[in-house]
Amino acid sequence: MHTLVLRRGKSESLSRRHPWIFSGALKPLPDDLKEGEVVRVVSSDGEYLATGHWQIGSIAVRVLSFDDEAIDYAFWHRCLSAAVGLRRTLRLFGESANTACRLVHGEGDGLPGLVIDLYGATAVVQAHSIGMHYARHDIARALTEMDGLYINNVYYKSATTLPEKATLEGEREGFLLKKADVEDVAIENGLRFRIDYLGGQKTGFFVDQRDNRNLVEKYARGRRVLNMFCYTGGFSVYALRGGARHVTSVDSSEAAVALVRENVALNFPEAQNHEAVACDAFRYLADNGKDYDLIILDPPAFAKRVSALKNALKGYTRLNAAAMAQLPPGGLLFTFSCSQAVSPHDFRLAVFTAAARTGRRVRILHQLHQPADHPISIYHPEGEYLKGLVLEVE
Protein backbone atom coordinates (compact mmCIF):
# COMPACT_ATOMS: atom_id res chain seq x y z
CA MET A 1 0.00 0.00 0.00
CA HIS A 2 1.35 3.43 -0.89
CA THR A 3 1.58 6.27 1.60
CA LEU A 4 0.74 9.78 0.37
CA VAL A 5 2.00 12.83 2.22
CA LEU A 6 0.00 16.00 2.78
CA ARG A 7 1.59 19.39 2.31
CA ARG A 8 2.23 21.37 5.45
CA GLY A 9 -0.86 23.17 6.74
CA LYS A 10 -3.28 21.05 4.69
CA SER A 11 -4.49 18.65 7.35
CA GLU A 12 -7.13 20.77 9.05
CA SER A 13 -10.21 19.59 7.14
CA LEU A 14 -9.07 15.97 7.56
CA SER A 15 -8.69 16.41 11.28
CA ARG A 16 -12.34 17.53 11.20
CA ARG A 17 -13.21 14.29 9.43
CA HIS A 18 -14.05 15.80 6.07
CA PRO A 19 -13.85 12.78 3.72
CA TRP A 20 -12.21 14.39 0.67
CA ILE A 21 -8.56 15.26 0.06
CA PHE A 22 -8.01 17.60 -2.87
CA SER A 23 -5.10 16.99 -5.25
CA GLY A 24 -3.44 20.34 -4.40
CA ALA A 25 -3.09 19.29 -0.77
CA LEU A 26 -0.80 16.36 -1.60
CA LYS A 27 2.97 16.28 -2.05
CA PRO A 28 4.22 14.74 -5.35
CA LEU A 29 2.83 11.24 -5.82
CA PRO A 30 4.76 7.97 -6.22
CA ASP A 31 5.23 7.01 -9.91
CA ASP A 32 3.67 3.60 -9.66
CA LEU A 33 0.43 4.69 -7.96
CA LYS A 34 -2.51 2.90 -9.57
CA GLU A 35 -5.82 4.69 -9.95
CA GLY A 36 -8.38 3.31 -7.52
CA GLU A 37 -5.86 1.84 -5.10
CA VAL A 38 -6.17 2.12 -1.36
CA VAL A 39 -3.64 4.58 0.11
CA ARG A 40 -2.60 5.70 3.59
CA VAL A 41 -2.34 9.44 4.04
CA VAL A 42 0.05 11.02 6.54
CA SER A 43 0.84 14.59 7.57
CA SER A 44 4.08 16.30 6.57
CA ASP A 45 5.38 15.14 9.98
CA GLY A 46 4.57 11.54 9.15
CA GLU A 47 1.57 11.30 11.46
CA TYR A 48 -1.21 8.94 10.25
CA LEU A 49 -4.37 10.80 9.15
CA ALA A 50 -6.59 8.64 6.96
CA THR A 51 -6.97 5.72 4.54
CA GLY A 52 -8.88 6.00 1.30
CA HIS A 53 -9.19 5.48 -2.45
CA TRP A 54 -6.86 7.50 -4.67
CA GLN A 55 -8.10 8.80 -8.02
CA ILE A 56 -6.96 11.25 -10.70
CA GLY A 57 -8.93 14.52 -10.50
CA SER A 58 -9.59 17.33 -8.12
CA ILE A 59 -10.85 15.04 -5.34
CA ALA A 60 -7.70 12.93 -5.08
CA VAL A 61 -8.54 10.75 -2.07
CA ARG A 62 -11.96 9.68 -0.82
CA VAL A 63 -11.51 8.70 2.81
CA LEU A 64 -12.80 5.31 3.93
CA SER A 65 -11.33 5.30 7.43
CA PHE A 66 -9.73 7.62 9.94
CA ASP A 67 -8.30 4.59 11.79
CA ASP A 68 -5.14 2.90 10.59
CA GLU A 69 -6.88 -0.26 9.42
CA ALA A 70 -6.91 -2.64 6.47
CA ILE A 71 -9.59 -2.13 3.79
CA ASP A 72 -10.37 -5.81 3.40
CA TYR A 73 -13.48 -7.98 3.20
CA ALA A 74 -14.08 -7.58 6.95
CA PHE A 75 -14.07 -3.79 6.49
CA TRP A 76 -16.77 -3.89 3.78
CA HIS A 77 -18.83 -6.33 5.80
CA ARG A 78 -18.64 -4.10 8.88
CA CYS A 79 -19.52 -0.89 7.00
CA LEU A 80 -22.44 -2.48 5.19
CA SER A 81 -23.72 -4.00 8.44
CA ALA A 82 -23.69 -0.51 9.96
CA ALA A 83 -25.65 0.82 6.97
CA VAL A 84 -28.18 -2.00 7.33
CA GLY A 85 -28.44 -1.21 11.05
CA LEU A 86 -29.36 2.40 10.37
CA ARG A 87 -32.11 1.43 7.89
CA ARG A 88 -33.40 -1.00 10.47
CA THR A 89 -33.54 1.85 13.00
CA LEU A 90 -35.46 3.84 10.38
CA ARG A 91 -37.89 0.91 10.13
CA LEU A 92 -37.37 0.59 6.42
CA PHE A 93 -37.17 -3.20 6.46
CA GLY A 94 -39.72 -5.86 7.09
CA GLU A 95 -42.78 -3.82 6.21
CA SER A 96 -44.56 -5.07 3.14
CA ALA A 97 -45.64 -1.49 2.30
CA ASN A 98 -42.01 -0.58 1.50
CA THR A 99 -39.53 -2.74 -0.35
CA ALA A 100 -37.37 0.08 -1.72
CA CYS A 101 -34.78 2.08 0.15
CA ARG A 102 -31.29 3.50 -0.11
CA LEU A 103 -28.92 1.21 1.71
CA VAL A 104 -25.70 3.15 1.20
CA HIS A 105 -25.54 6.87 0.56
CA GLY A 106 -21.86 7.65 -0.09
CA GLU A 107 -20.28 9.98 2.42
CA GLY A 108 -23.42 9.87 4.58
CA ASP A 109 -22.60 6.22 5.30
CA GLY A 110 -18.84 6.75 5.49
CA LEU A 111 -18.39 5.21 2.04
CA PRO A 112 -17.61 8.01 -0.44
CA GLY A 113 -18.10 6.91 -4.03
CA LEU A 114 -20.66 4.19 -3.28
CA VAL A 115 -24.44 4.20 -3.68
CA ILE A 116 -26.62 1.14 -3.13
CA ASP A 117 -30.39 1.04 -3.55
CA LEU A 118 -32.45 -1.95 -2.53
CA TYR A 119 -35.51 -3.07 -4.44
CA GLY A 120 -36.84 -6.11 -2.63
CA ALA A 121 -34.21 -8.83 -2.82
CA THR A 122 -32.24 -7.02 -5.53
CA ALA A 123 -29.48 -4.55 -4.73
CA VAL A 124 -28.40 -2.02 -7.35
CA VAL A 125 -24.79 -0.94 -6.73
CA GLN A 126 -23.43 2.24 -8.25
CA ALA A 127 -19.74 3.19 -8.09
CA HIS A 128 -18.82 6.84 -8.44
CA SER A 129 -15.12 6.20 -7.86
CA ILE A 130 -12.62 3.80 -9.36
CA GLY A 131 -11.72 2.44 -5.94
CA MET A 132 -15.32 1.37 -5.43
CA HIS A 133 -15.29 -0.24 -8.88
CA TYR A 134 -12.43 -2.47 -7.76
CA ALA A 135 -14.16 -3.23 -4.47
CA ARG A 136 -17.43 -4.23 -6.17
CA HIS A 137 -17.06 -7.99 -5.79
CA ASP A 138 -16.29 -7.78 -2.06
CA ILE A 139 -19.26 -5.43 -1.67
CA ALA A 140 -21.58 -7.80 -3.56
CA ARG A 141 -20.46 -10.77 -1.48
CA ALA A 142 -20.87 -8.85 1.78
CA LEU A 143 -24.37 -7.80 0.72
CA THR A 144 -25.42 -11.44 0.57
CA GLU A 145 -24.10 -12.02 4.10
CA MET A 146 -25.99 -9.31 5.99
CA ASP A 147 -27.85 -10.57 9.05
CA GLY A 148 -31.60 -10.51 8.54
CA LEU A 149 -31.41 -9.18 5.00
CA TYR A 150 -32.06 -11.46 2.07
CA ILE A 151 -30.41 -10.32 -1.16
CA ASN A 152 -30.28 -12.70 -4.08
CA ASN A 153 -29.37 -10.42 -6.98
CA VAL A 154 -26.77 -7.68 -7.20
CA TYR A 155 -26.84 -5.50 -10.29
CA TYR A 156 -23.87 -3.22 -10.94
CA LYS A 157 -24.89 0.02 -12.70
CA SER A 158 -21.93 2.36 -13.08
CA ALA A 159 -21.75 3.09 -16.81
CA THR A 160 -22.69 6.73 -16.34
CA THR A 161 -21.15 7.37 -12.93
CA LEU A 162 -17.51 6.25 -13.35
CA PRO A 163 -15.06 8.65 -15.01
CA GLU A 164 -15.50 8.16 -18.75
CA LYS A 165 -11.83 8.33 -19.61
CA ALA A 166 -10.54 5.85 -17.05
CA THR A 167 -9.23 2.55 -18.39
CA LEU A 168 -10.75 0.02 -16.07
CA GLU A 169 -10.51 -3.69 -15.65
CA GLY A 170 -13.94 -5.28 -15.70
CA GLU A 171 -17.37 -4.25 -16.92
CA ARG A 172 -19.09 -1.08 -15.75
CA GLU A 173 -22.51 -2.65 -15.84
CA GLY A 174 -24.07 -6.09 -15.36
CA PHE A 175 -25.05 -8.60 -12.72
CA LEU A 176 -22.42 -9.31 -10.07
CA LEU A 177 -24.67 -11.96 -8.66
CA LYS A 178 -27.92 -13.45 -9.90
CA LYS A 179 -29.50 -16.26 -7.95
CA ALA A 180 -33.13 -15.69 -8.87
CA ASP A 181 -35.34 -13.89 -11.31
CA VAL A 182 -35.19 -10.17 -10.77
CA GLU A 183 -38.28 -8.77 -9.12
CA ASP A 184 -38.66 -5.57 -11.08
CA VAL A 185 -41.55 -4.06 -9.16
CA ALA A 186 -40.78 -2.17 -5.97
CA ILE A 187 -43.36 -1.14 -3.40
CA GLU A 188 -43.22 2.31 -1.83
CA ASN A 189 -45.80 3.23 0.82
CA GLY A 190 -48.00 0.52 -0.63
CA LEU A 191 -47.75 1.78 -4.23
CA ARG A 192 -46.12 -0.27 -6.96
CA PHE A 193 -43.41 0.94 -9.33
CA ARG A 194 -41.63 -0.88 -12.10
CA ILE A 195 -37.88 -0.48 -11.74
CA ASP A 196 -35.90 -0.27 -14.95
CA TYR A 197 -32.50 -1.51 -13.71
CA LEU A 198 -31.07 -1.88 -17.14
CA GLY A 199 -32.20 1.26 -18.95
CA GLY A 200 -33.32 3.63 -16.20
CA GLN A 201 -31.68 6.75 -14.78
CA LYS A 202 -29.78 6.54 -11.48
CA THR A 203 -30.47 3.09 -10.04
CA GLY A 204 -33.82 2.86 -11.86
CA PHE A 205 -36.02 4.85 -9.49
CA PHE A 206 -35.72 7.98 -7.34
CA VAL A 207 -36.12 6.66 -3.80
CA ASP A 208 -35.18 10.06 -2.37
CA GLN A 209 -38.63 11.59 -2.94
CA ARG A 210 -40.53 8.99 -0.85
CA ASP A 211 -41.50 11.33 2.00
CA ASN A 212 -42.19 14.28 -0.29
CA ARG A 213 -44.50 12.19 -2.45
CA ASN A 214 -46.47 11.43 0.69
CA LEU A 215 -47.01 15.12 1.18
CA VAL A 216 -48.25 15.56 -2.40
CA GLU A 217 -50.78 12.81 -1.73
CA LYS A 218 -51.99 14.70 1.31
CA TYR A 219 -52.69 17.89 -0.65
CA ALA A 220 -53.90 16.38 -3.93
CA ARG A 221 -57.57 15.90 -3.11
CA GLY A 222 -59.80 17.60 -5.68
CA ARG A 223 -56.90 19.37 -7.35
CA ARG A 224 -55.74 19.42 -10.94
CA VAL A 225 -52.13 18.25 -10.60
CA LEU A 226 -49.24 18.86 -12.99
CA ASN A 227 -46.20 16.64 -12.34
CA MET A 228 -43.41 18.25 -14.28
CA PHE A 229 -40.17 16.28 -14.91
CA CYS A 230 -42.16 13.22 -13.88
CA TYR A 231 -39.64 10.46 -14.83
CA THR A 232 -41.27 7.22 -13.59
CA GLY A 233 -44.27 9.15 -12.27
CA GLY A 234 -43.81 8.75 -8.52
CA PHE A 235 -45.59 11.99 -7.63
CA SER A 236 -48.40 11.27 -10.12
CA VAL A 237 -49.30 7.90 -8.63
CA TYR A 238 -49.40 9.38 -5.11
CA ALA A 239 -51.54 12.29 -6.31
CA LEU A 240 -54.02 9.86 -7.87
CA ARG A 241 -54.25 7.91 -4.61
CA GLY A 242 -54.75 11.21 -2.80
CA GLY A 243 -57.90 11.89 -4.83
CA ALA A 244 -56.65 14.40 -7.39
CA ARG A 245 -59.32 15.47 -9.85
CA HIS A 246 -56.89 15.06 -12.71
CA VAL A 247 -53.12 14.44 -13.06
CA THR A 248 -50.87 15.32 -15.98
CA SER A 249 -47.33 13.90 -16.08
CA VAL A 250 -44.80 15.67 -18.29
CA ASP A 251 -41.27 14.63 -19.21
CA SER A 252 -39.15 15.38 -22.25
CA SER A 253 -38.18 11.71 -22.49
CA GLU A 254 -40.54 9.35 -24.34
CA ALA A 255 -39.14 6.43 -22.34
CA ALA A 256 -40.09 8.18 -19.09
CA VAL A 257 -43.61 8.87 -20.37
CA ALA A 258 -44.01 5.18 -21.22
CA LEU A 259 -42.85 4.24 -17.70
CA VAL A 260 -45.24 6.63 -15.99
CA ARG A 261 -48.15 5.20 -17.99
CA GLU A 262 -47.09 1.72 -16.94
CA ASN A 263 -46.83 2.70 -13.28
CA VAL A 264 -50.22 4.40 -13.26
CA ALA A 265 -51.76 1.28 -14.86
CA LEU A 266 -50.00 -0.93 -12.30
CA ASN A 267 -51.71 0.88 -9.43
CA PHE A 268 -54.92 2.23 -10.95
CA PRO A 269 -55.77 0.15 -14.03
CA GLU A 270 -59.11 1.91 -14.37
CA ALA A 271 -57.85 5.48 -13.99
CA GLN A 272 -59.39 7.84 -16.55
CA ASN A 273 -58.03 11.00 -14.97
CA HIS A 274 -54.34 10.69 -15.86
CA GLU A 275 -52.50 11.69 -18.99
CA ALA A 276 -48.78 11.59 -19.78
CA VAL A 277 -47.19 13.97 -22.26
CA ALA A 278 -43.71 14.00 -23.78
CA CYS A 279 -42.86 17.70 -23.93
CA ASP A 280 -40.33 20.27 -22.81
CA ALA A 281 -41.24 21.62 -19.38
CA PHE A 282 -40.94 25.31 -20.23
CA ARG A 283 -43.08 24.91 -23.32
CA TYR A 284 -45.74 22.91 -21.52
CA LEU A 285 -45.93 25.43 -18.67
CA ALA A 286 -46.25 28.37 -21.03
CA ASP A 287 -49.01 26.72 -23.09
CA ASN A 288 -50.99 24.83 -20.43
CA GLY A 289 -49.85 25.95 -16.96
CA LYS A 290 -53.12 27.78 -16.32
CA ASP A 291 -55.06 24.50 -16.21
CA TYR A 292 -53.56 23.37 -12.88
CA ASP A 293 -53.77 24.25 -9.22
CA LEU A 294 -50.99 22.01 -7.87
CA ILE A 295 -47.71 21.97 -9.76
CA ILE A 296 -44.65 19.84 -8.97
CA LEU A 297 -41.27 20.88 -10.33
CA ASP A 298 -38.56 18.27 -9.82
CA PRO A 299 -36.01 19.01 -12.56
CA PRO A 300 -32.68 17.27 -13.09
CA ALA A 301 -29.66 18.90 -11.40
CA PHE A 302 -29.20 22.25 -13.17
CA ALA A 303 -25.70 22.62 -11.65
CA LYS A 304 -23.60 19.47 -11.80
CA ARG A 305 -20.61 21.44 -10.50
CA VAL A 306 -19.92 24.68 -8.68
CA SER A 307 -18.76 26.48 -11.86
CA ALA A 308 -22.28 26.11 -13.29
CA LEU A 309 -23.93 27.62 -10.23
CA LYS A 310 -24.81 31.06 -11.57
CA ASN A 311 -26.60 29.76 -14.65
CA ALA A 312 -28.29 27.07 -12.61
CA LEU A 313 -29.78 29.63 -10.24
CA LYS A 314 -31.09 31.61 -13.20
CA GLY A 315 -32.64 28.38 -14.52
CA TYR A 316 -34.40 27.71 -11.20
CA THR A 317 -35.69 31.27 -11.11
CA ARG A 318 -37.01 31.10 -14.67
CA LEU A 319 -38.71 27.75 -14.12
CA ASN A 320 -40.32 28.72 -10.81
CA ALA A 321 -41.47 32.06 -12.17
CA ALA A 322 -43.11 30.28 -15.10
CA ALA A 323 -45.07 28.06 -12.70
CA MET A 324 -45.95 30.77 -10.17
CA ALA A 325 -47.23 33.10 -12.85
CA GLN A 326 -49.75 30.47 -13.98
CA LEU A 327 -51.16 29.19 -10.68
CA PRO A 328 -54.59 30.45 -9.61
CA PRO A 329 -54.99 32.06 -6.17
CA GLY A 330 -54.62 29.32 -3.55
CA GLY A 331 -52.51 27.25 -5.94
CA LEU A 332 -49.74 25.06 -4.53
CA LEU A 333 -46.22 24.69 -5.88
CA PHE A 334 -43.93 21.84 -4.86
CA THR A 335 -40.51 22.89 -6.09
CA PHE A 336 -37.23 20.98 -5.78
CA SER A 337 -33.54 21.17 -6.54
CA CYS A 338 -31.33 18.09 -6.45
CA SER A 339 -28.12 19.94 -7.38
CA GLN A 340 -25.46 19.30 -4.78
CA ALA A 341 -23.72 22.54 -5.78
CA VAL A 342 -26.84 24.60 -4.94
CA SER A 343 -27.16 25.25 -1.19
CA PRO A 344 -30.59 25.43 0.48
CA HIS A 345 -29.98 29.16 0.88
CA ASP A 346 -29.16 29.64 -2.83
CA PHE A 347 -32.22 27.68 -3.85
CA ARG A 348 -34.48 29.70 -1.62
CA LEU A 349 -33.02 32.88 -3.05
CA ALA A 350 -33.68 31.69 -6.61
CA VAL A 351 -37.30 30.91 -5.71
CA PHE A 352 -37.64 34.22 -3.88
CA THR A 353 -36.44 36.00 -7.01
CA ALA A 354 -39.07 34.13 -9.04
CA ALA A 355 -41.80 35.22 -6.62
CA ALA A 356 -40.66 38.84 -6.72
CA ARG A 357 -40.54 38.74 -10.50
CA THR A 358 -44.13 37.54 -10.81
CA GLY A 359 -45.33 39.99 -8.14
CA ARG A 360 -47.48 37.29 -6.50
CA ARG A 361 -47.90 36.91 -2.74
CA VAL A 362 -46.14 33.66 -1.92
CA ARG A 363 -45.86 31.80 1.38
CA ILE A 364 -43.63 28.90 2.36
CA LEU A 365 -45.72 26.08 3.85
CA HIS A 366 -43.07 23.37 4.10
CA GLN A 367 -39.33 23.05 3.68
CA LEU A 368 -38.43 19.64 2.36
CA HIS A 369 -35.28 17.52 2.33
CA GLN A 370 -33.90 14.16 1.40
CA PRO A 371 -35.18 11.31 3.60
CA ALA A 372 -33.26 9.72 6.46
CA ASP A 373 -31.96 6.81 4.37
CA HIS A 374 -29.94 9.50 2.54
CA PRO A 375 -28.12 10.68 5.69
CA ILE A 376 -25.78 13.67 5.74
CA SER A 377 -22.46 13.39 7.56
CA ILE A 378 -22.22 16.47 9.72
CA TYR A 379 -18.58 16.78 8.59
CA HIS A 380 -19.63 16.75 4.92
CA PRO A 381 -22.40 19.32 4.50
CA GLU A 382 -22.05 18.95 0.71
CA GLY A 383 -24.10 15.76 1.18
CA GLU A 384 -27.26 17.82 1.64
CA TYR A 385 -28.36 17.75 -1.98
CA LEU A 386 -32.16 17.52 -2.14
CA LYS A 387 -34.04 20.69 -1.21
CA GLY A 388 -37.67 21.48 -1.67
CA LEU A 389 -40.25 24.11 -0.82
CA VAL A 390 -44.02 23.86 -0.76
CA LEU A 391 -45.42 27.27 -1.59
CA GLU A 392 -48.88 28.70 -1.59
CA VAL A 393 -49.44 31.34 -4.23
CA GLU A 394 -52.18 33.84 -3.41
Catalytic residue numbers, as ranges:
338
Least distance in Å: CB of 39 to ligand SAH? 35
Least distance in Å: CB of 253 to ligand SAH? 4
231 interacts with ligand SAH by CB under 6 A:
yes
Q: What's the start-to-end Cα distance of the chain, in Å?
A: 62
* Helix, strand, or coil (residue 333): strand
Beta strand pairing call for 114-119 and 100-105: antiparallel
The interface region with ligand SAH, picked from 174-182, 245-253, 359-367, 371-379 by CB under 6 A, is 245-253
Report 251-280 residues binding ligand SAH (CB under 6 A). 251-253, 256, 280
Number of residues that bind ligand SAH (CB under 6 A): 17
The interface region with ligand SAH, picked from 41-49, 145-153, 156-164, 297-305 by CB under 6 A, is 297-305
235 interacts with ligand SAH by CB under 6 A:
yes
Question: Which CB sits closer to ligand SAH, 23 or 201?
Answer: 201
Question: Which CB sits closer to ligand SAH, 206 or 347?
Answer: 206
Question: Which CB sits closer to ligand SAH, 299 or 344?
Answer: 299
* Helix, strand, or coil (residue 228): strand
Q: Which of 21, 71, 130, 281 binds ligand SAH (CB under 6 A)?
A: 281
Least distance in Å: CB of 306 to ligand SAH? 21
Q: Which of 85, 300, 330, 381 binds ligand SAH (CB under 6 A)?
A: 300
Instruction: Residue 355: name the closest of 309, 330, 319, 386 by CA.
Output: 319
- Vertex 72: Cα angle to 90 and 107 (nearest 5): 40
Contact 65, 50 (CB under 8 A): yes
76 interacts with ligand SAH by CB under 6 A:
no
Report the 3 state secondary structure along 41-57. Answer: EECCCCCEEEEEEECCC
Instruction: Residue 135: name the closest of 66, 67, 51, 258 by CA.
Output: 51
DSSP for residue 328: P
63 interacts with ligand SAH by CB under 6 A:
no
51 interacts with ligand SAH by CB under 6 A:
no
Question: Which CB sits closer to ligand SAH, 112 or 234?
Answer: 234
Strand partners, 21: 61
68 interacts with ligand SAH by CB under 6 A:
no
344-358 helix and 309-326 helix, angle to the nearest 10 degrees: 40
Percent of the chain that is helix, strand, coil (3-state, to 5) = 30, 25, 40
Strand partners, 54: 61
232 interacts with ligand SAH by CB under 6 A:
yes
Rounded Cα–Cα distance for residues 125 and 115 (Å): 6
The interface region with ligand SAH, picked from 56-64, 142-150, 247-255, 367-375 by CB under 6 A, is 247-255
Least distance in Å: CB of 361 to ligand SAH? 27
Instruction: Residue 172: name the closest of 130, 231, 143, 216 by CA.
Output: 130
Q: Which residues bind ligand SAH (CB under 6 A)?
A: 206, 209, 229-232, 234-235, 251-253, 256, 280-281, 298-300
